[in-house]
Structure 1
């Protein structure tokens, strides 16, 4: 298979062309013949024109690549090596939603041929690839695993908005269903990953490794968030504490904040779901999740308390929220915890305006029920401003700017501590 791919006698396909799948497809397409498959015909048309729907890649990334973008199973059928990179979200009950993953497994199953390879990159609980995905492919293809086709797992490590830690520069964990498949899968990824690969002993080990990467971060950030609530009651600035503690060589540098997105705020639930199924309640992980999921409401309540102390009539007040995406300098709004801040403010009858240089207003309305405030409608009499996301344009603001858009006795809430030590006149608060 490896040699056939190199000679372009075989084709590699990537299923799911989001912020994970598209960079993988384009990187492989510099050296191999690639099919980029997505069920969204509109997104496919954009990519055919050299446009990344996620807004992560420039047009130059599409140049010099041997890739065919399609939403057709007939075209997908021409591949022999499949990489599945679809999202694995949670539902409204914080339960794993495997519909995209099982849908992709169905698509592959309909085109699978004897001797083909399938590698999953989607974040799942240990055992999902073998217990949930493979049976779907067997049923629809009529083939038997592992005799007729091989399966592997190589978890994605893409960090949206990060131009330094990219696909080629991050060590890639790879796993196969046997020694032969592991060797071939590793060699294929070594074509594009300059940092090299780590060969895991089994698919389940690779699945588990991925899910604890984000669970570890989630639990540590939850600790920082809890500490920030404690230190706030002591009138101590959390960031000053972290700076002091960070002078010790083995202190782990995590910061408090809103934990959204489709990785850190989602992946731990896949692990706790599987643990529950096996009869174990993951207390530490779920405690961290509860803390982080409640931070949006905590920030909103703190803002309202400060406004009341400043003599503001909350029901007649107006607050500007700066930033709506799940993290800085990206367009992605999925699982943005800024929405929790806005909802809690509205629960207090606060009038809320929202701005963001990267987010799409119609997407926000579809997902959360609010729209961005047009630039020409941004006011000069806000009773509070919440800098919710540290977008680069916001980091360049100063106190004069915030004073120009606020009323007397206004409050500046700086979630990530961007302006710590720079605000002298406004009432200032950060986590």
Structure 2
């Protein structure tokens, strides 16, 4: 049977996926946000993940009408799976998407989930919702599969088509169909997992592994600061060994690395295991923002600079460079800690939407050109436009062109640092 594809959820993951499928056939692109749909119809992608030309040329029927989902018999679900304030999995978006799909599900349809979940969630949480909403039976009237998303926002080299796609299905026949559908668009090929749970687990440990490696670097950074050693120089020296892993300290936010480990730890605790190493890594990474802020304040005191009432500029607010994504940005931790010292914090970002920043975090973004000269600058997110300016940008960012610069990701060339600037690195 010919597969008519529908993609549910047109964010950072779903849209690139929909566009690539749309280059091969006419597909349905569904999102619950009517404004998002109208923008896409006009050829505008606010996430900047898809080129205008690709968006216009792809045969995607963009819609916010859920009934259009019934036109498809191969449905891909790419909705967010965040965590709650208590760091527990928040499956509400996934459950609501499953409910909507179930209400428009036809016999013989395959539903493939791409959202990050804990092992077992697809079959234990999503499939029953589909069954209840549709009145159909999973495994007989419709089928489910799981193929974890591997989109890296802002990365134009590692894209949907160039990353090996892990696929899984609830039986061999479904697996082969899912493999064929993805294999038709993914140039890098597919890897067939032996079960849905294996595929779910593979996804969740990919980012857990990165989280733990970064947490080690962050802890080393704290140690080296107390020893008066530059962490970046230590890593550069250690990196000359062939098998040294190339990880750097930094803020760990976003919708993947800073979130996914909690899905695994939740499931681990459900089956009676306390995941000490994973949670320790999470705790370390969640404290990085506070460490940066207090380190900066200590340096200001050492330099006899005023703390209370002083001005500190934060350069960058998104969760990573060259993207507009503000989800789970840990830059906010630096902001809150500095404000606790009665410091005037001004924040700017080359990509972030000011309205969204206020809505999500109640902070006001300042236009770059309207920033007031500050005693110190925290270079939090190294967007390309900032790196292109280099050290020259601090002539107007710092009072009289002198002060402290905290380069969180060590992207500025230390050897070119002006004499009147005190450089700190994580």
TM range (shorter): over 0.9
Q: 1:90·1:266 contact (CA, 8 Å) conserved in 2?
A: yes
Q: Distance in 2 between matches of 1:398 and 1:164?
A: 24
Deviates more, 1:57-66 or 1:191-200: 57-66
Q: Distance in 2 between matches of 1:372 and 1:268?
A: 30
State the shift of 1:187 in Å: 0.3
**Aligned with residue 74 of structure 1, among 67, 82, 86:** 67
The aligned residue for residue 115 of structure 1 is 108
Deviates more, 1:104-113 or 1:416-425: 416-425
**Aligned with residue 144 of structure 1, among 137, 143, 146:** 137
Distance 1:404 1:125, change over 3 A: same
Does residue 130 (structure 1) correspond to residue 128 (structure 2)? The answer is: no
The aligned residue for residue 421 of structure 1 is 415
Q: Distance in 2 between matches of 1:403 and 1:171?
A: 45
**Aligned with residue 349 of structure 1, among 342, 363, 368:** 342
Distance 1:186 1:296, change over 3 A: same
State the shift of 1:403 in Å: 3.6
Q: 1:119·1:152 contact (CA, 8 Å) conserved in 2?
A: yes
Gaps of 5+ in 1: 6-10
State the shift of 1:274 in Å: 0.5
Q: Distance in 2 between matches of 1:373 and 1:49?
A: 29
RMSD, aligned CA: 1.1
The aligned residue for residue 299 of structure 2 is 306
Q: 1:134·1:145 contact (CA, 8 Å) conserved in 2?
A: yes
**1:398-427 C-alpha deviation (Å, 9 max, x unpaired):** 434314332366111000111222214211
Q: Distance in 1 between matches of 2:152 and 2:126?
A: 25
Q: 1:173·1:200 contact (CA, 8 Å) conserved in 2?
A: yes
The aligned residue for residue 231 of structure 1 is 224
State the shift of 1:180 in Å: 0.2
User: Any residues of structure 2 matched to 1:91-240 within 5 Å, and which?
Assistant: 91-240=84-233
**1:100-157 C-alpha deviation (Å, 9 max, x unpaired):** 0001110111011111110000000000000000000011111111011111100000
Q: Distance in 2 between matches of 1:325 and 1:405?
A: 19
Q: 2:161·2:185 contact (CA, 8 Å) conserved in 1?
A: yes
How many residue pairs are counted as aligned between the two chains? 423
State the shift of 1:376 in Å: 4.2
**1:174-195 C-alpha deviation (Å, 9 max, x unpaired):** 0000000000000000111000
The aligned residue for residue 260 of structure 1 is 253
SS at match of 1:316: coil
State the shift of 1:83 in Å: 0.3
The aligned residue for residue 398 of structure 2 is 406
Gaps of 5+ in 2: none
SS at match of 2:206: helix
State the shift of 1:207 in Å: 0.2
The aligned residue for residue 319 of structure 1 is 312
Does residue 430 (structure 1) correspond to residue 425 (structure 2)? The answer is: yes
The aligned residue for residue 8 of structure 1 is none
Per the normalisation by structure 1, the TM-score is 0.96
Q: 1:398·1:422 contact (CA, 8 Å) conserved in 2?
A: no
The aligned residue for residue 36 of structure 2 is 43
Does residue 30 (structure 1) correspond to residue 23 (structure 2)? The answer is: yes
The aligned residue for residue 380 of structure 2 is 388
**1:260-280 C-alpha deviation (Å, 9 max, x unpaired):** 000000000000001011111
SS at match of 1:311: coil
Deviates more, 1:323-332 or 1:52-61: 52-61
State the shift of 1:47 in Å: 0.8
Q: 2:349·2:368 contact (CA, 8 Å) conserved in 1?
A: no
Q: Distance in 2 between matches of 1:407 and 1:53?
A: 35
After TM superposition, where is structure 1 displaced by more than 6 Å over at least 4 residues in a row?
Answer: none
State the shift of 1:321 in Å: 0.5
The aligned residue for residue 52 of structure 1 is 45
Q: 2:208·2:260 contact (CA, 8 Å) conserved in 1?
A: yes
State the shift of 1:241 in Å: 1.0
